[in-house]
């Protein structure tokens, strides 16, 4: 299967600081990546769709100025949580879409645990 990595795997930061999370597709190029958030005992919630070379598309209720997404290359997308607060503490997961074959398949990264103190 395809490999998607995330860095860091966990981060603890103080309230008011910004945190950047990287998502890389290691063995395929991805024009489209996705960012999800998962709170404890809940399912994944799609935050935004990241398209290489263009602006991200955010889901309803997700603040685009707070969650900055950059997809500057075919293998890297970044999510920056700006001015993080304790309520932003969550498990952030990215996925990369590999095209071709029977439909398109998304492959997920291992996730990044963000704790805001």
Partner 1 sequence: DAKTTQPNSMESNEEEPVHLPCNHSTISGTDYIHWYRQLPSQGPEYVIHGLTSNVNNRMASLAIAEDRKSSTLILHRATLRDAAVYYCILSRNQGGSEKLVFGKGTKLTVNP
Q: Which of 45, 62, 68, 76 binds partner 1 (CB under 8 A)?
A: 45
Q: Which residues, other chains included, contact 80 with Cβ-Cβ below 8 Å and sequence gap of 6+?
A: 18, 19, 20, 21, 67, 68, 69, 70
- What is the number of residues in the chain? 117
Q: Where are the beta strands (DSSP E) in 43-89?
A: 45-51, 57-58, 67-73, 76-81
1 binds partner 1 (CB under 8 A): yes
Residue 6 is a binding residue for partner 1 (CB under 8 A): yes
Residue of 93, 96, 114, 116 interacting with partner 1 (CB under 8 A): 93
Q: How far apart are CA 53 and CA 66, in angstroms?
A: 20
Instruction: Give whichever of 44 and 68 is closer to partner 1, judged by the CB atom.
Output: 44
Residues in the interface with partner 1 (CB under 8 A) total 27
State the residues that interact with partner 1 by CB under 8 A.
Answer: 1, 4, 6, 31-32, 34, 36, 43-46, 49, 91, 93, 95, 97, 102-111, 113
């Amino acid at each position: 299967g395809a490999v998607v990595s995330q860095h860091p795997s966990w981060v603890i930061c103080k309230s008011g600081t910004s945190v950047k999370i990287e998502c890389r597709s290691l063995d395929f190029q991805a024009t489209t990546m996705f960012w999800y958030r998962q709170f404890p005992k809940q399912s994944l919630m799609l935050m935004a769709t990241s398209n290489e070379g263009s602006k991200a598309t955010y889901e309803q209720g997700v603040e685009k100025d707070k969650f900055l997404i950059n997809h500057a290359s075919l293998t890297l997308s970044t999510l920056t949580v700006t001015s993080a607060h304790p309520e932003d503490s969550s498990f952030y997961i990215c996925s990369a879409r590999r095209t071709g074959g029977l439909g398109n398949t998304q492959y997920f990264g291992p996730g990044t645990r963000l704790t805001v103190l």
